[in-house]
Chain A
Amino acid sequence: MNSIISIESLTKYYGKFLAVSDISFSVNKGEIFGLIGPNGAGKSTTMRSILNFIKPTEGKITIKGLDSQKDYIKIRNLIGYLPGEFSIYDNLSAEEYISHILHLRNKSNKIPNLKNLAAMFDLDLSKKSKKLSKGNKQKVGIIQAFCHDPEILILDEPTSGLDPLKQQEFEDLVLEFKNQGKTIFISSHVLPEVETLCDRVAIIKNGQIIAEDKMADLKKKSINRIEVQFSKDFDVDKLRKNIGISKVTGDSNKYTFDIEGNIDKFIKELANHEIENLKTIEPDLEDIFLSYYREQKG
């Protein structure tokens, strides 16, 4: 695979506080890569290091082989960026603001993409920024990141403030960019968004990458959620003693079991009981996330 963003042994201290500890991963060409974790886990520090806003204490970041600290001007020509806290000048309209940013990028503000994107997000470009709602400001942020047709997109919590309909538009836009062979790096704590979009994800916790895998494989490796309806009342505590079950919900004769790892022992145990119905439920990313967290704590 052709690595576009490469992070090698990135460590960042703020004074004595360790924000990011020896993390390494890469994002490949044409891939949507997600960095997920709760607030304060180190997502923004990682993203801001890529853009050379933050100087790594140790480690190296390269974008298309260019060093993030030495070649940052060349890198910024390749990138569209949406920060976690996006802010625009109150005295400018959305169009004036985007025009200003495009000028700084040495691009014309006559880019056809601009009008299309504004129409897609139902955004009135002539409105002064101070009159825009949080969601509309976020749309301006998304549009300025996409409109100059960058090769690489770095998006920090991109759907913050967007209504569900516009979140869908955003996801379509990201997928369209991916289909054009572009590379997208998203950080988020909105797990369903990552689940829908990303090819691969890394889970970051306390500044460390605790898991990195293909979205599909990550789901497989995590918990198995099985819903079982027994023919008669079932002693779930006895089953708990015999095998490792992370979570059980339900009562009487219908239970949902979360089983980490191999389910062979669980199935064999079930074979001793009369079962009316059994179905497997695909875990969502939140379950995967919590599962990894529990594993780490353990």
Chain B
Amino acid sequence: MILLVTLAGAFGAVVRYLLSGFVQRRIDTDLPVGTLAVNLSGAFLIGIVVGIDDLQSTVGLLAVGFLGGFTTFSTWMIETIRLGIPPLRSRSLFNLTTTLVAGVALAAAGYSLTN
């Protein structure tokens, strides 16, 4: 089971790579919108998945494994720093707070949708 969850996560990483690259190329901005799109959609989807099954089924575990590799925390931190040190630079603070607030709100929305 651990092996399958791991493979699901690795597959999620590939989808993140392709989707974030696609979004970043499509939108003309130097804000990290590719990672934003991946993290926000992943947060919404994990809300839906956990709301349905709360990690009881194999499919649920695999879906959460996939979303674990699909979304990323480290890249969010690095890209935030690249925009400046957060409280001092508004664009950096914007990237930090938008991802955080929208991510938690979307996870809650997904969860309440299915639970």
A and B co-occur in one complex: no
